[in-house]
Amino acid sequence: MTIAPVDELARRIAVAERMAERYAAADGVAAVLLAGSVARGLADARSDVEVDVYWRRAPSDAERRAVVDDAGWEWVYAEVDEHEWADGVRLDGVKVDVSQFVTATIDGYLDALREGDTEPELQVRATALLDGRALAGDGLIEDWRARLAEYPEALALAMLDQADRIASAPRQFGGSEHAIAVQVHAHERVAHPVLVFDQRDAAVVVAVHAREVIAGGVYLCSRDGGVSEHKRREHQRRTPGFQDKPGQEKARA
């Protein structure tokens, strides 16, 4: 007897869809999004599932717990901070990280990005919206994606200014030789410029959107304390968006 192999990606998508039905039925939930490696089609047997739930107003602890308890899911953790309710559960042997936000928080994050706020968490949430799969509240998700269609000018220049500060940071550590190694994570669309001296990785890592901001040819080593005219012209020439249009990336290569 031959046992057919388990499609781990399909199994995780099914888990997310079952969870979405429960959350979407809860009073106050505006949308549910499948995020992470499962949404991008890259999950395997070791992958957990990331589900984002967007509430119209702050959920009570009782409301959050009722969704999990009534469904009979296993609790793994429950954490709360200023802007997020994070609940970890296990369903059919798969761990699911449920990140919950009020819609007004996401609206504020998108406004802050347009104003040039480089806080990494804001870009993590933007990437989740762009790469994710709407499981409920499609209209709201599409409205947020429309606001992310073009990479904000203020954010692009702020990210380049931040890269300048990274480039000059080795002097603070007394290193005579240094290099900047940009490690691009294509699936996350994020690069981490890591300072390297004396063959050791330094402890300074700052998230930078690679494809849109660094984009290969942008010169990062200006010591004038700001964004060089070369980089400004390069940015204006590329005029990138958060998400490349089909065929655009190939044209840039």
Which pLDDT value is given to residue 151?
A: 87
Which residue stretches of the chain have pLDDT < 70? 1-6, 166-253
- Per-residue model confidence (pLDDT) at position 90: 97
- Tens of pLDDT, residues 141-163: 999 999 999 888 898 888 888 87
Q: Which of 155, 131, 124, 117 is nearest to 240 (CA)?
A: 155
Strand-pair partners of 176: none
User: According to the model, what pLDDT value does residue 193 have?
Assistant: 39
- Give the per-residue pLDDT at 125: 94
User: What is the number of other CB atoms lying within 10 angstroms of the CB of residue 193?
Assistant: 22
Phi-psi region of 28 (alpha: psi -120 to 50; beta: other; left: phi over 0): left
Q: Where are the domains of the chain?
A: 8-147, 153-252
Radius of gyration, alpha carbons of the chain: 21
Query: Measured between alpha carbons, how far is residue 42 from residues 37, 38, 192 in Å?
Result: 5, 6, 21
Structure token pair of residue 110: 């998108």
**Cβ atoms of 156 and 115 closer than 8 Å:** no
pLDDT at 196: 35
**What pLDDT, on the 0 to 100 scale, is given for residue 233?**
47
Homologous superfamily (CATH) for 8-147: Beta Polymerase, domain 2 (3.30.460.10)
Would you state the pLDDT for residue 5? 61
Distance CA 117, CA 225 (A): 19
Report CA-CA distances (Å) from 106 to 4, 84, 121, 206: 42, 10, 11, 22
Task: Find where tokens 């300048």 sit.
Answer: 164
Q: What is the pLDDT of residue 165?
A: 72
For tokens 């590329």, what's the residue? 238
Q: How long, in residues, is the chain? A: 253
The model's pLDDT over 169-199, given as tens digits with 9 standing for 90+, comes to 555 544 444 444 433 333 344 433 333 333 3
Q: Measure the CA–CA gap between 207 and 111, rounded to whole angstroms.
A: 19
